[in-house]
Amino acid sequence: MSVAGFEVSAPGKVILHGEHSVVYGKPAIAGPIGLRTYLTYKRLQTPEVILDFASIPFNSSLSLESFNAFLTQFDCHSNLQPLEFLEKMRSAEGFPFASFVTRQPAQDSIKEKFSLGTALYLLNRILRSEGVESLESGFQLTLKSVMSIGAGLGSSAGYGVCVSAGAFLLSKIIKGELEANFSLQNSPEVLEKISKWAFDSEIVMHERPSGIDNTICTYGNLIKFKRGKPFESLKLRQQVNILIVDTGVSRTTAKLVAGVADLKSRHP
């Protein structure tokens, strides 16, 4: 099946209870919000791969030859796990995939570096895991979120879910296996894969995620979540109105989690 384009999206999330304690095995309650992150795929006639992060804004590209070399020379599925990749991203040696891209992230831009790095990491990890080692035509991925980045609404998890879903669909297109009536929502085994890949993305972004963000952004629904256990869907007996206020102050989840970990170690 030849596919010229598609779009996938994922909701943001709000944690109603247990935002920090969930990291330490306590239950949390969370649900999706009506703000989404979108990924648009477009097949290109030119031999290049373009990654456009419209919300930052930032874009970069690889020639098709460079992208195929990237898939061959790096195996992010078997040989480069998320924590190892995070260490590479943090090292002083520069951007890990610098030799393949035409435009590198600005040295002082964490958003550019981690957006591009994580997208390439997931593309490699997922395409390799699905048996794809080269492409014959170029494509463009455009990512855009209507959420404020760094506002605690799950923008990074929504990003990971969208890239993971997009990369999986791309693998099906390349292998000629994408059926006309295929639906991600009706494929629980694929959703499980997407949630796990998005969790890998969260590790790269935040080092020690709980798993609740990628779960909400993949499946939706109000859930009770406990780390290491299957989530439990919840049903409200009546409608609840919740007001979310965006202060406009960006924060880094990894730093907040580290701060709580420090407090816990000093006051067990």
| Active site residues per annotation | 156, 213
User: What is the number of other CB atoms lying within 10 angstroms of the CB of residue 203?
Assistant: 20
Backbone angles phi, psi at 254, to 5 degrees: -60, -40
Rounded distance between C-alpha atoms, residue 55 and residue 151, angstroms: 14
How many Å apart are CA 240 and CA 145, to the nearest integer? 25
Structure-derived torsion over alpha carbons of residues 127, 131, 137, 138, reported in degrees to the nearest 10: 10
Within 8 A by CB and 6+ apart from 177, the residues are none
Q: CB neighbours (10 Å) of residue 221?
A: 14
End-to-end CA distance of the chain: 57
Contacts of 28 (CB under 8 A, 6+ apart): 15, 17, 18, 19, 21, 22, 210, 212, 224, 225, 226
- Tokens linked to 131: 């048996």
